């Protein structure tokens, strides 16, 4: 029984990994794509993924509460696999646009389903431990994207990056059949609405949503455009991939110790201090650092993944019994930023350059840190 529960965490984490890895892929493989996408075309691909992802955020949580979450995740992974296959076979940017939208539409169902599945099988002190291991999928997806995708694209061709996602998604989906129905549950009792709209009147919920929107607006810009930026600095494909991986590599240990930092500093202080630090580090990317940019990327990775659990903790404290509605609203705005960020980045790059892109992004993050000062009674 114990092994089965932790096996469940493993495949849930793998599912979350795939949903995140798939959104990062184009940011790297487009460099090697024979379709030769422009900056504007890249931005459209990114935005369409996030639009599809955002559309299903609230309904995915609703459905995961009412049916066996295994089936929700399995269907999402099959959709992710098929859209990845289409992306790999695509012979025009129009096909890539369609595939990216459906990729986001599929990936958006994974997070609520996997969280529901884990919460049904872990209680008390085991739950945060399970969620901690589950959450490692986020930094790991960035690390492996930078380490693996350039290698695959150079040696096998850019299309194989999507073929690999297709194969792994199908295999992971099949693994859910090994979970006993009793471990997956039969869904919850019907509730009266899709979301508790009273959270829109909660001042703290609004602060977390708006501040988080600004933070993630810049974060997605960094995540989606950093690899190409590192190439412009003269780093070769593999060194640029290594630098990209560092944006999350140090986040693996920081994710594990973040709880102790939050407990010592408090949620509000953690968000203010670490977001301000992340903003300063982002501004440093705009300076002519040369190879030192690798060091900056490593520090960014450590700081970034203290912010993630701090945000989740803030939402939990604010929501209380309505944590689901609060997290749903907050995550809607956090993910919505991903649909806006590529357009802003494209405009800045076409009218200015990367230096100003990182400068503007860093300032926006610092503004986000300042807004978190308005959080009430969380520490």
Contacts of 44 (CB under 8 A, 6+ apart): 93, 97, 342
Render the burial of 312-327: b for 16+ CB within 10 Å, e for the rest: bbbbebbbeebebbbb
Residue of 56, 54, 46, 152 lying closest to 99 (CA atoms): 46
CATH code for residues 1-179? 1.20.1250.20
Number of H helices, E strands in the chain: 17, 0
∠253-258-260 over CA atoms, to 5°? Answer: 115
Q: What is the pLDDT tens value at each position of the chain, 379 positions in all?
A: 477 777 888 999 999 899 989 988 998 899 899 999 998 899 899 889 989 998 887 777 677 777 888 899 999 999 999 999 999 999 999 999 999 999 999 998 888 888 778 777 776 567 667 777 787 888 889 888 888 999 999 999 999 999 999 999 999 999 999 887 655 554 444 444 555 566 677 788 889 889 999 999 999 999 889 999 999 988 888 888 888 888 888 888 887 787 788 878 888 899 999 999 999 999 999 887 777 888 999 999 999 988 877 887 777 677 555 555 566 677 788 888 988 898 899 999 999 999 999 999 999 999 999 999 888 765 5
Please tell me the class of the 195-379 domain. Answer: mainly alpha
What are the boundaries of each domain within the chain? 1-179, 195-379
1-179 and 195-379: identical CATH topology: yes
Kindly report each contact of residues 315-324 with a partner whose C-beta sits within 8 Å and lies 24 or more positions away, as own/partner: 315/205, 315/208, 317/267, 317/378, 318/202, 318/204, 318/205, 318/208, 318/378, 319/199, 319/205, 322/196, 322/198, 322/199, 324/61, 324/196
Does the reported pTM lie above 0.85? no
Q: Determine which helix (DSSP H) or strand (DSSP E) holds 307, and give its type and residue range.
A: helix 293-319
Give the C-alpha separation, 202 to 195, whole Å.
14
């Amino acid at each position: 029984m114990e092994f089965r529960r932790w096996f469940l965490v493993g495949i849930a984490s793998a599912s979350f990994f795939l949903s995140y890895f798939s959104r990062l892929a184009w940011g790297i493989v487009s460099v090697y794509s024979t379709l030769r996408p422009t900056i504007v075309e890249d931005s459209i691909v990114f935005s369409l993924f996030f639009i599809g992802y955002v559309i299903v955020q609230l309904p995915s949580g609703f459905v995961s509460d009412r049916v066996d979450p295994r089936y929700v995740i399995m269907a999402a992974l099959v959709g992710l696999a098929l859209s990845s296959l289409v992306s790999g076979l695509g012979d025009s940017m129009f096909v890539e646009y369609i595939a990216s939208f459906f990729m986001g539409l599929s990936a958006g169902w994974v997070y609520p389903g996997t969280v529901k599945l884990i919460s049904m099988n872990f209680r008390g002190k085991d739950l945060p431990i399970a969620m901690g291991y589950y959450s490692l999928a986020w930094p790991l997806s960035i690390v492996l994207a930078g380490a693996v995708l350039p290698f695959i694209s150079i040696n096998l061709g850019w299309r194989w990056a999507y073929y690999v996602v297709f194969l792994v998604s199908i295999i992971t989906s099949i693994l859910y059949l090994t979970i006993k129905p009793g471990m997956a549950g039969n869904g919850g009792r019907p509730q009266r609405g899709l979301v508790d709209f009273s959270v829109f009147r909660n001042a703290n919920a609004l602060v977390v949503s708006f501040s988080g929107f600004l933070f993630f607006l810049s974060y997605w810009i960094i995540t989606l455009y950093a690899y190409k930026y590192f190439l412009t600095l003269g780093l070769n494909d593999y060194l640029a991939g290594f630098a990209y991986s560092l944006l999350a590599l140090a986040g693996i240990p920081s994710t594990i110790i973040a709880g102790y930092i939050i407990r010592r500093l408090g949620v509000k202080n953690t968000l203010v201090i670490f977001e301000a630090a992340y903003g300063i580090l982002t501004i440093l990317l705009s300076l002519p650092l040369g190879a030192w940019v690798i060091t900056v990327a490593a520090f960014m990775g450590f700081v970034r993944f203290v912010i993630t659990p701090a945000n989740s903790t803030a939402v939990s404290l604010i929501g209380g019994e309505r944590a689901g509605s609060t997290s749903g609203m907050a995550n809607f705005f956090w993910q919505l930023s991903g649909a806006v960020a590529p357009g802003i980045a494209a405009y800045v790059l076409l009218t200015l350059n990367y230096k100003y892109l990182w400068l503007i992004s860093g300032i926006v993050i610092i503004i986000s840190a300042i807004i978190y000062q308005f959080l009430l009674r969380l520490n």
